[in-house]
Amino acid sequence: MKAIKDPVSLLDDINNDDLQQDLPPVDEWHPEHCGDSEICIRRDGTWTHQGDVFKREKLVKMFSKIIRLDEDEKYYLVTPVEKMLLSVEDVPFLVVGFDIVIHEDSQKIIFETSLGDQVVVDAEHPVTVLTINDEPAPYVVVRKNLKARIARSVFYQLIDVAVSEQRGAENVLFLESSGERFELGRF
């Protein structure tokens, strides 16, 4: 994580539309379901096909751009002519780093996934923290309804830059980005 202070033009120019402009319009494609891709995205972000780890990162990056989560709560790889089931152990993306851009008391958090995708945390791309087995499980919406799990090391770094607020007997930690506040936890 690095803080980029006072980049006058940079703060206004950073937005999700620009960062995600190379994505195909998978929501506009409605092919028939044609089977199981036999591809699995493991919880740690590793992609496998029939149990073997993908060795070609460019292929994984290409497939990652055509993922869609449908109303049936299943993930699919979608092209204009094919729709294939995709197995996902948790969520399809993993946040492995972030930058903070600060200008005149306003900041934006920009996450980066293990596949090089970037997303600015804002109202449409919120951070949420669930509790699973008494452990925090932080996520961010990367695009539409697709989420990334925030790696534990990144989450700990976020806690270091979080704002603390006293609410009754509890302290609440908030992440501030794009004029929004996102609760990280209470203690």
**Average pLDDT estimate for 52-67:** 95
Neighbour count for residue 121 (Cβ, 10 Å): 24
- Whether residues 100 and 116 share a domain: the answer is yes
Does residue 11 lie within any of the structural domains? no
- Whether residues 70 and 27 share a domain: the answer is yes
- Please say if the pLDDT value at position 90 is more than 50: yes
**Average pLDDT estimate for 92-119:** 92
Find the domain containing 134 and state its range: 2-6+92-186
- Whether residues 61 and 147 share a domain: the answer is no
Q: What angle do CA 75, 158, 163 make, to 5 degrees?
A: 125
pLDDT above 70 covers a percentage of the chain that reads: 89
pLDDT-based confidence at 7, cuts 50/70/90?
very low
- Whether residues 104 and 149 share a domain: the answer is yes
- Whether residues 29 and 106 share a domain: the answer is no
Q: Could you give the residue ranges of the DSSP H alpha helices within the chain?
A: 8-13, 16-19, 57-64, 152-161
- Whether residues 122 and 147 share a domain: the answer is yes
- Please say if the pLDDT value at position 35 is more than 60: yes
75-78 vs 163-167, strand pairing mode: unpaired
Q: Fill in the amino acid letter for 4.
A: I
Final residue in a domain of this structure, among 42, 66, 88: 88
